[in-house]
């Protein structure tokens, strides 16, 4: 089909043109009937956002994706190009991809009128049928819709009343395409008003030219909830003209979140070869985002992007790789102490409320990591709180952590250097009474480094539940008994 180069050949081929909304609707129906995946790579939206989007496409609607940052709004829009035909014909030289069977620009109409079936045509691939504009306060009507081009008028010796002096903006140039405006509330109200007639009537007005151009566009808008910031909002008449408003959300389960992070994290192939990453570490990193989304220190209106956990996982790999390079080790795994290296990935991804600002972004990030470890710990080992409650009721139930805490109570301590070699780390952990036995009791098949990681988790977990003390210093993590650490702190004061 793409070998056809004139209007006459196109007519002879039996090609039938259709609007982009009809095109997307029919291709969606075909994919659904064939059982094909419509939005590959989108996780956690199978029962919510994807059905809403498909209903909007079947209804031939323009759409508004409304949700907090990092909820795959733009990605959903970009994937819609898969619902377009692979190629469509347009009149050669047309700025707005005029349909050869239904031209709407002055140029396209004159080409058909003067050349008839000899009108040359070109073919547009679906990858080129996507336009995107980030709404910023400096965006003008000329940027979006168009303006008079005095240079063109001078070169062609045209009067300013001639339609040919018009330089089309990005929206007319996206005719027969999907056009996305990201962060719609950031667009000034007067600019939003300029979109009214385009959405409703297909009219565009440029410096006194009133042009009837029924543009063939699927508009997709993205926005954070209107109460996100005070930057602006979507004017009500514009929102009224957008037929479908689709609410996005963060992953509702850890499993979905784990899949998204694993899919999106850009781990270097040499890191994957050198560094092993356990499911335990992945769950701790993922839990940080869930903790942040419920933290009183984090601004919930701002949201916590999935980019937090993606960046954190990448940093965890890099922390393990850096340690292995320093120690000249050919392979390693991500240890609990490597999670100190993900703090920079957290501090830049959370917006703090006043109380959080008082704490400081670093301390809030450390606290989120601590809460995450606390939440994940009880998924692997018994809940220490449960034994405290049973003890309070005079039930003769001995805590499985008793031998470990007593070892620390005797004045023993563990100084875990951050750059410790793997073999030395395991030996150090084995010096703690009861630690190895506890891990083997719950994970009898655990051995080597994996057993060492579980042992390290126990120390971090017990400190998170205030059964032992943990102090993070510049080059090491220090574990000791809780009371002894309090007295030491008092003496140092």
Residues 187, 235 contacting (CB under 8 angstroms): no
Domain contains 288: yes
What the block records as the tokens of 90 is 């347009």
Same domain, 274 and 345: yes
Per-residue pLDDT tens for 122-134? 999 999 999 999 9
Same domain, 372 and 408: no
Domain contains 228: yes
Per-residue pLDDT tens for 404-425? 999 999 999 999 999 999 999 9
Same domain, 404 and 328: no
Residue with tokens 């009898």: 444
- Confidence band for 229, pLDDT divided at 50, 70 and 90: very low
Same domain, 371 and 458: no
Same domain, 62 and 165: yes
Overall residue count recorded for the chain in this entry? 493
Q: What is 179-208 written as a DSSP string?
A: EEEESGGGS-HHHHHTTHHHHHT-EEEETT
Same domain, 19 and 118: yes
Same domain, 230 and 308: no
Which of 287, 290, 279 lies closest to 250, judged by CA? 290
444 versus 228: the higher-pLDDT residue is 444
- What single-letter DSSP state applies at residue 81? G
Q: Could you give the angle at which helices 435-442 and 448-464 cross, rounded to 10 degrees?
A: 110
Query: Per DSSP, what are the bridge partners of residue 180?
Result: 132, 220
Domain boundary among 352, 380, 408: 380
Per-residue pLDDT tens for 322-373? 999 999 999 999 999 999 999 999 998 999 999 999 999 999 999 999 999 9
Same domain, 347 and 265: yes
Residue 204 CB-half CA count within 13 A: 24
- CATH code, domain carrying 328: 1.10.8.80
Domain contains 2: no
> What is the average pLDDT across 310-326?
96
The rounded distance, in Å, linking the Cα atoms of 30 and 21 is 14
Same domain, 376 and 395: no
Domain boundary among 195, 229, 247: 247
Is 447 exposed, middle or buried, given 0-12, 13-18 or 19+ CB atoms closer than 10 A? exposed
- DSSP three-state, residue 329: coil
3 state SS for 217-246: CEEEEEECCCCCCCCCCCCHHHHHHCCEEE
- Confidence band for 491, pLDDT divided at 50, 70 and 90: very low
Per-residue pLDDT tens for 441-472? 999 998 889 999 999 999 999 999 999 999 98
- Confidence band for 394, pLDDT divided at 50, 70 and 90: low
Domain contains 294: yes
Domain contains 14: yes
The model's pTM is: 0.86
Domain boundary among 354, 380, 406: 380
Range of the domain at 472: 385-492
Is 368 exposed, middle or buried, given 0-12, 13-18 or 19+ CB atoms closer than 10 A? buried
Residue burial 53-88, b: 16+ Cβ < 10 Å; e: rest: bbebbeeebbbbbbbbbbbbbbebbebbbbbbbeeb
Handedness of CA 305, 309, 310, 311 (dihedral sign): positive
Q: What value does the mean pLDDT of the chain take?
A: 89
The rounded distance, in Å, linking the Cα atoms of 361 and 346 is 9
Same domain, 141 and 242: yes
Residue with tokens 């659904």: 32
Per-residue pLDDT tens for 38-67? 999 999 999 999 999 999 999 999 999 999
Which of 136, 135, 141 lies closest to 195, judged by CA? 141
- Confidence band for 3, pLDDT divided at 50, 70 and 90: confident
How many CB atoms neighbour CB 151 within 10 A?
A: 9
Domain contains 53: yes
Query: Per DSSP, what are the bridge partners of residue 65?
Result: 222, 246
Which of 129, 113, 130, 111 lies closest to 121, judged by CA? 111
Least trusted range by pLDDT, from 104-108, 116-120, 224-228: 224-228
> What is the average pLDDT across 4-11?
93
Same domain, 210 and 267: no
pLDDT at 61: 96
Same domain, 259 and 343: yes
Residue with tokens 């209804």: 59
Residue burial 166-197, b: 16+ Cβ < 10 Å; e: rest: bbbbbbbbbbbbbbbbbbbbbbbeebbebbee
- DSSP three-state, residue 458: helix
| Tally of structural domains, the chain | 3
Domain contains 1: no
Domain contains 12: yes
- CATH code, domain carrying 126: 3.40.50.300
pLDDT at 73: 94
């Amino acid at each position: 089909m793409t070998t056809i180069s004139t209007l006459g050949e196109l007519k002879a081929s039996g090609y039938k043109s259709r609007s982009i909304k009809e095109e997307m609707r029919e291709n969606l129906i075909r994919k659904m009937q064939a059982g094909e995946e419509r939005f590959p790579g989108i996780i956690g939206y199978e029962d919510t956002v994807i059905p809403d989007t498909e209903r909007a496409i079947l209804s031939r609607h323009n759409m508004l994706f409304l949700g907090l940052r990092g909820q795959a709004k733009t990605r959903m829009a970009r994937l819609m190009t898969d619902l377009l035909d692979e190629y469509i014909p347009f009149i050669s030289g047309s700025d707005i991809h005029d349909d050869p069977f239904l031209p709407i620009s002055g140029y396209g109409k004159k080409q058909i009128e003067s050349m008839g079936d000899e009108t040359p045509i070109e073919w547009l691939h679906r990858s080129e049928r996507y336009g995107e504009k980030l709404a910023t306060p400096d965006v003008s009507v000329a940027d979006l819709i168009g303006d008079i081009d005095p240079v063109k008028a001078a070169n062609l010796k045209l009067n300013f009343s001639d339609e040919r002096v018009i330089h089309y903006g990005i929206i007319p140039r996206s005719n027969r395409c999907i056009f996305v405006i990201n962060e719609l509330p950031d667009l000034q109200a007067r600019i939003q008003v300029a979109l009214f007639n385009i959405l409703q009537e297909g009219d565009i007005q440029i410096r006194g030219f009133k042009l009837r151009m029924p543009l063939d566009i699927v508009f997709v808008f993205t926005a954070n909830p209107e109460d996100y910031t005070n930057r602006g909002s979507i004017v009500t008449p514009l929102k009224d003209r957008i037929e479908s408003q689709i609410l996005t959300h963060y992953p509702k389960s850890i499993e979905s979140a784990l899949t998204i992070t694993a899919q999106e994290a850009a781990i270097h192939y040499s890191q994957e070869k050198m560094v092993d990453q356990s499911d335990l570490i992945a769950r701790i990193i993922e839990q940080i985002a869930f903790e942040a989304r419920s933290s009183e220190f984090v601004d919930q209106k701002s949201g916590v992007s999935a980019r937090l956990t993606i960046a954190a996982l990448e940093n965890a790999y890099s922390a393990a790789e850096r340690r292995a390079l320093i120690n000249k080790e050919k392979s390693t795994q991500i240890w609990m102490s490597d999670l100190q290296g993900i703090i920079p990935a957290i501090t830049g991804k959370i917006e703090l409320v006043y109380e959080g600002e008082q704490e400081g972004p670093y301390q809030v990030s450390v606290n989120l990591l601590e809460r995450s470890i606390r939440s994940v710990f009880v998924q692997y080992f018994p809940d220490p709180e449960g034994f405290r409650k049973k003890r309070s009721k005079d039930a003769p139930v001995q805590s499985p952590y008793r031998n470990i805490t007593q070892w620390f109570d005797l004045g023993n301590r563990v100084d875990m250097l951050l750059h410790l070699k793997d073999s030395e780390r395991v030996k150090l952990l084995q010096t703690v009474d009861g630690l190895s036995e506890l891990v083997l009791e719950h994970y009898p098949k655990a051995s080597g480094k994996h057993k060492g990681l579980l042992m390290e988790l126990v120390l971090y977990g017990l400190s998170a539940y205030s059964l032992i003390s943990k102090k993070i210093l510049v080059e090491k993590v220090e574990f000791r008994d809780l009371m002894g650490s309090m007295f030491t702190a008092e003496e140092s004061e």
